Amino acid sequence: VPPVTCRRWLNLQEYQSKKLMSDNGVRVQRFFVASTASEALEAAKRLNAKEIVLKAQILAGGRGKGVFNSGLKGGVHLTKDPKVVGQLAKQMIGYNLATKQTSKEGVKVNKVMVAEALDISRETYLAILMDRSCNGPVLVGSPQGGVDIEEVAASNPELIFKEQIDIFEGIKDSQAQRMAENLGFVGPLRNQAADQIRKLYNLFLKIDATQVEVNPFGETPEGQVVCFDAKINFDDNAEFRQKDIFALDDKSENEPIENEAARYDLKYIGLDGNIACFVNGAGLAMATCDIIFLNGGKPANFLDLGGGVKEAQVYQAFKLLTSDPKVEAILVNIFGGIVNCAIIANGITKACRELELKVPLVVRLEGTNVQEAQSILRNSGLPITAAVDLEDAAKKAVASVAKK
């Protein structure tokens, strides 16, 4: 099975997520963002902190153990000397950082976050997420934070606490207090934690998040409750009313072809093979990749058309697929529910003629207006190979590459 992982549509850097939280009353470490070494040095001086943490800002995880092509090891550094911040930033900004989640070449670092380093006396876990089984938001917490929550759930399920929230009533003070108590906050810290929980829930609703995960949700020796690290997932369907947030989307680390696909509301994920997959729906895309593998082939990508498709999108999709030099055949697999197969067929024939398609094309269509669509393809006079089902389509696509 090919290693397919869908990217989150909206990508925010760490400093952007922290600013969102800070702007909404959630307590995070004091920080500044710098684009040059001199800005980083100035930021370190302005912080006037006992200890400073310098973090390279890229979307990939594993920064702490990453390596720069400048020779510097580690994308996260602690120091008490502001001058060292400037020296380290000089070896970070403008250089590529390679981690276990990037390519070998790594990702260029354009910004660094200069933050106050705080000691953590205790770590807990807190998340707010939309849960279908509860028809709304659920607060999930554990007194065991700073570790993988799935491991806690497997080894100590009694340490996972949940509070189902009525989305119309909102979070109740009693729920926030109970969660704070279950997380192990006592005395004044309990009220402080409950206040932060309420603010996180308000942020969750305000920004149309599907999940806000804080790990660790910790306390400091000085008696402060702080959100040390957070991951925020957003509802793509809310983009129309969250324009300011979606404008923050950092696409600099995407492949250029992914950004081009997004311009036409197409979802594109590149893979290592030579058979391009053109489908509608992520589930069908993964099934198509799987069946190509099972028949001895390798998918070059999957490209998801989505629902409300137009002929122009089909044309642009073919343009993207044929721009990849690895592609030796194209497999179209469309199940027309919302999608009208006739629109797909017209788009395919137009693309084939205007782009002068040079690679074999196998098409399997099923669903709305499929007979009209098949007639369009059959009468087009183009060298299009029709398939009766997905298995047949995969075999024909793999065979067309093998003949070369």
Measured CA to CA, the distance from residue 212 to residue 128 in angstroms comes to 5
Angle between helix 37-47 and helix 82-90 axes, rounded to 10 deg:
160
Measured CA to CA, the distance from residue 37 to residue 277 in angstroms comes to 44
Strands ordered across the beta sheet of 31-34: 31-34, 112-116, 52-56, 76-79
Sign of CA dihedral 179, 185, 190, 196: negative
Strand, helix or coil at 130? strand
Annotated binding-site members for substrate: 280, 337-339
- Asked if 213 is an active-site residue, the reply is yes
The residue from 15, 125, 264, 315 that is catalytic is 125
Measured CA to CA, the distance from residue 66 to residue 75 in angstroms comes to 6
Annotated binding-site members: 29, 62-64, 118, 215, 229, 280, 337-339
What residues form DSSP beta bridges with 367? 336
- Close Cβ partners of 11 (under 8 Å, ≥ 6 residues apart): 59, 249, 250, 251, 253, 254
Annotated binding-site members for Mg(2+): 215, 229
Q: Encoding tokens for residue 351?
A: 């693309």
* Phi, then psi, of 86 in degrees rounded to 5: -60, -40
Measured CA to CA, the distance from residue 393 to residue 297 in angstroms comes to 12
Q: C-alpha angle with apex 323: 317 to 327, nearest 5 degrees? A: 95
Query: Kind of pairing, strands 230-234 and 209-219?
Result: antiparallel
- Asked if 264 is an active-site residue, the reply is no
Amino acid (1-letter code) at residue 336: G
In angstroms, how far is the first alpha carbon of the chain from the final one? 24
The residue from 39, 213, 258, 328 that is catalytic is 213
Distances (CA, A) of 42 to 83, 112, 268: 9, 13, 41
Q: Which of 164, 159, 59 is nearest to 107 (CA)?
A: 59
Enumerate the active-site residues.
Answer: 125, 213
